[in-house]
Every structure is written in structure tokens, then in C-alpha cells.
Structure 1
């Protein structure tokens, strides 16, 4: 808990001077004001995060992806076999997964972290921070103890800080865990107060006929555990997942170290909501890559008051949206750094 408390206490608002200098630079460039929209917004945020309007081209980037299994799988909330968590996470490490391919194409490294995959055998190329082999069934009681919830967050902080020491300037988050849209939806339901049936969707691979069972399971979990919606750690421990806690830690760790953090899709939104409950200032450091095609996505982002860059009808997770966003971020920085400036004679034409 000491690391979590220390990190949370050291998250400060963005640097307004850096933002203002970056805005002044945009005003000097040869395009009409505000015509590059979110590309401008990205560089303004980066200037505020770094406290410097000078932003380096092609900053070193990575996606930290966490994996964990879930006891709630026993309730029939996924039609995929639970063994796929381990099998697919091996592909995170060897670069053959969707996020691995997209990340490589966009000059981004993938750091894979096991927080709770079923099975004792370590996976080559994966950091072993296993808390235990999967969470407990949230339909019967808490997913994990409060100590385990804190541990998952602190492991996320630790991995984020390792990456920052290694020179990464932009960090995205990703995840893997069969049926983890169930705890993610439970988190959103608790924090928003919305009934699960209003926000429950098919996840990566669920037949529509199974959605009602999934929503009923989430409702039962919330009724049994009765988490306090204002307490992010309690919500995580009662209805969350280890990989969600890891992403919470990355968001908080990056924020405290003045590093921007790029969200992926729906599961990462739930992590952001929990991080926001722990320290609302962390929201200022978040860049949302895309609008997940999950039913509850718009509600989650409305609660965070954040807008996504893209809407590509994607719902895979893994960190795929974050990987795609890295190219847009690089493009925004390069445009900001290399576009020509207005001459004194022509400046009036661009105002």
C-alpha cells in the first residue's frame, strides 16, 4: 500500500505554461487555427504532460499488456475455453497476436505481464508477476482480497516505472483474459449506477443469447459484494480482475512520472474509472485511442469526460487500439515539429 499511496499523492495537474507555448507554436504554423483538431489536442496534452513545448519526434513507445484468468468463467459468461488466455498470451510474447503485429508496424514494443493466468508454468518472454491462478468467482463473493487488489495495482506501477527508466516516453495499456468483459462491465455498472442489462454486450465472442445470463451474473455479483462505488480499490477487489488492477497501476504510475498513457478499449476504460476514483488528476494524462464497439463504451468515456481518436468498430482488446493510436500520435508530433511557419506578410491570411 505504501507504493500506491506515494504514487497517488504525487500526481499533479498538467503544466499550463507548456500547453500555452504549444498553442502559440500552432498559431505560428501555416494552417488555419484549429483545423487539425485532435492532432493539435494531442500535442497540447503532451506539452502539458512533459512540461515542455519541445516534443521529440518518434518518442520511444510501448504497450504494457497484463493477463489474468477469472473465476466468474464458471458462470458460463464466455463461450471460449479459458485455456485461450495462456495460449494467446504466448502470442503476445512472440509477436504473433493482433497487438503484436500492429505494435511492431507502429514501432512500439509490447511488454507482456502475467498477473494471474491459470497454470504454474512460466511463459517465455512474459514478466512473471503472478498473484495467483485466477480470481475467485464474483458471483459467489469478492474477486480478490483488498491486499491482492493493491498488489495488482502496485505491480502495474512497478512495471510502468521499469519502462520509464528504460526510456519509454509514451505508454499504452492492453490486456488478455477470457471473459474479462464481465468484471469490466461490473465495474462500470457499480460506478455508473446503471443496471447491467443496459451495458452488457457480447464481448469478444459471445452469442447474443448468452448476454442475459452475463448481465444476470453481473447483477448477482454486485448484489452479493455490494462494493462502494466511490472506492476504486474496493470495487476492484470485489468485482474486478488482476489484469484490470495492473492497468490501474500503469495509469497512476505514468501520471505520477509525467508520462502520457494511451488507453485501449472497454477493459481499459474500466481501469481508468478505477484509477480516477483513486486520484482524479490521472485523467489529465490519458489519451483514448478508440471507441470500443462494446455497448457500455460511450457511457464509460462520458463518465471520464474523454474523447477517443478513432471509431473503427473494434472490440478485440489486447491493446490493438493503443497500438494503432501510436502512429497518429507520432504523426501529430511530426506535424507540430516540421510544418512551416507563417511569414509576416501572409500571417493575416491564416487567422
Structure 2
């Protein structure tokens, strides 16, 4: 079984001690101070290295799209993967701006993307219709998890010390909503959102589909991996594997939005200690994201009203993390600056 690397608590304590000596009132940098100390614990260094992100976008199609749950056809998954490969998607722009490694992985795209310069790791051509049957077999789920684990290993071997998983898959907000409902106990009415922009009729239909899927497994005693197989998707499983392997290797993951949080919930249900290696980036505009973040016990750093996916919300937060570490490392101490400290 996967197990997460222990945090270095001595490094975290040393970082907290350093924060107390910097030329500022204690706690005046708020969450930035805690973020720097978290990186110290992750890296085992009182003065951690700056975050070097690697972004991996996992793509897969969903059989549940035959139920009419999306405003866009399944073909858009293939077309967007092509857009990723050509550098035209939002996450491509963000990766260039951050000088971050970007990899696109076909975990289960239904269309033919074999000619594109991406990682070809297709487990099968899309998941099955989760409203009617198990989305992925046990073997397919394990294979998709390994696709993500292998991607995390590649990212770390290339020098990343921060992992970001992005998603692309028409229909994946439906799968994610079902997963979040099952894993948190939240009602579908509170979790199901408009995804790609469906109207009121479409939203009512999507709600019906999620309820049907949940009813199909209502009396099943499912493990975390079983839940992923029943209600998830190939790219969601790959993202879960990505997070699990990152934690095993001792590299934190910055969680994106709704789909990423569903994947993180699945991964945490398989390895509870994973929590120590997760950081939530932004609060998605999808209504169910709050329930996922609450279950993960991860407060979001920012709320920008984003709901794009692709890892975009996480990427936007990277400069904030980099600044937190630079402030921690480069600010002068009271002694270095010759400034009197706080009176006793």
C-alpha cells in the first residue's frame, strides 16, 4: 500500500522560530508565515527552497455524457487535448508565465490523440456510464491510479518540489459530484452545479443522473478505491494516484478546484495521512467545492470565482507561495538589521 512520508516537524519548528525573529510584528504576514513553515516541514529545511511547480493535466472521457449532463459534446475533450498540445489553453499560458513544467497525459480520451506530442497512457477509451453501471473495473481503476503515480515520479525526477494536477474531460463534474456526495454525505442538491454552463433544465437532469448513480451503490459497502471505480473517471483516478505518489515521495500537491478536490478525497480515503501533503489553492465557483474542502479540512487560499479546471486555479496561486517562501528566507532578522525587538 501507498504511505505518505512523515513531515519534518523539527524543520517546521525551526522555521517558526525564524519567523519570530524577522523584522515585523509577530503574525503580521498572516497565512504567508504558515505557508513558509509548511514548506519547511515538507522539505526538511528551516529555510526552504522556492516552490518549483510541475503541472500535469490528465484527460479522459466519461460515458455518463450520453445522459446529456454537459453543455458540450464529448468530442471537446479530444479537441481540448489538441489545444493543450498546441499551447493554446489557459493552463499552457500559466505554465509559460511560471516557467513550470507542463505535461499532458491521455488517461482515457475516447478520441484518437495518438499523433499528438503528449504522454500516451490510455487505460481505455472513456469510462462507462456511471448512472447505469460501474464506471471502471477494478483493474482499470488500478491502472489509472498507476498512470498518475508514474506522472508524479516523472515530475519529481525532473526537479519539481510542488505538484499540480489538472483535468480535462467532458462530463467530469458529474462524476466528481457523485464522488463528493458519496464520500462526504452531502446531498446532491448542495453539490451538483452547472459545470460547463448548463441551463436550468440541464441542471435538473444532471441532478437526476447523480441521484441515480448514488442510488445504484447506496447499499454497497465500498472502499475508497471501490468508490472511485463505481462513480469516478479515468483522469480522476490518475489524479488520485498523482497525489498519492507525491506524498509517498515527500512532495506536496497544490489542489485545484472541484474535480481535483474529488480526486483528492478519493486519494485521502485510500491513504488518510495524505492530508499532510495537500494544500488547497482556490475556492471554485462550483457549489459542491465547499463540501469537498470541508471534508479535506483544507481552507482555500483565494476565491477568484474560477471554475475552469485544467489546474488553472492552482497555477494562479503559485506566485503567492513563492513570495511566502522568499519573505521567510530573505527578510532580515531584528539582530541583522540592528532593530530593537519587542519589549518584554
- Give the TM-score of the pair, scaled to structure 1: 0.94
1:192 aligned residue: 184
CA–CA distance in structure 2, aligned partners of residues 99 and 256 of structure 1: 26
Q: For each residue in 1:97-153, what CA deviation from the matched residue of structure 2 results, as whole angstroms up to 9, or x when unmatched?
A: 011111211222211100011123414221000001100001110001011111111
1:222 offset after TM fit, Å? 1.5
Contact in 1 for aligned 2:180/2:262 (Cα 8 Å): yes
Distance 1:81 1:67 in 2: 15
- In structure 2, runs of 5+ residues without a counterpart are none
Confirm or deny that 1:336 pairs with 2:339.
Answer: no
Distance 1:23 1:167 in 2: 26
Is 1:155 the counterpart of 2:147 in the alignment? yes
Distance 1:99 1:324 in 2: 9
Q: How far apart are the structure 2 equivalents of 1:63 and 1:229?
A: 34
Contact 1:39–1:332 (Cα < 8 Å) also in 2? yes
The 1:228/1:65 distance shift into structure 2, 3 A limit, reads farther
Residues matched between the structures, number: 342
Residue in structure 1 matching 2:316, options 300, 324, 329: 324
Q: Secondary structure at the match of 1:110?
A: strand
Q: Please list every run of 5 or more consecutive structure 1 residues that lacks an aligned counterpart in the other structure.
A: none
Give, in angstroms, the shift of residue 54 of structure 1. 2.6
Shift of 1:227: 7.4
Deviation readout 1:232-251 (Å, 9 max, x if unpaired): 10011000001111110111
Structure 1: 4+ residue segments shifted above 2 A: 225-230
Shift in alpha-carbon separation, 1:115–1:315, aligned structure 2, 3 A: same
Shift of 1:280: 0.9
Select 1:99's aligned residue among 86, 91, 103.
91
Aligned match for 1:249, one of 241, 260, 275: 241
CA RMSD of aligned residues (A): 1.6
What does residue 25 of structure 2 align with?
Answer: 32
Alignment partners' CA distance in 2, 1:229 and 1:291: 31
Choose 147-156 or 34-43, whichever is displaced more: 34-43
1: CA distance, partners of 2:247 / 2:262: 17
TM-score (norm 2): 0.96
Residue 207 of structure 1 pairs with residue 195 of structure 2: no
Whether 1:56 and 2:58 are equivalent positions in the alignment is no
Corresponding position of 1:47: 40
Aligned match for 2:117, one of 99, 111, 125: 125
Where in structure 2 are the equivalents of 1:172-183 lying within 5 Å?
Answer: 172-183=164-175
Give yes or no for contact 1:195–1:219 (8 Å, CA) kept in 2. no
Does the 8 A contact of 1:43 with 1:332 survive in 2? Answer: yes
* Distance change >3 Å, CA 238–CA 23, structure 1 → 2: same
Three-state SS of the structure 2 residue aligned to 1:136 is coil
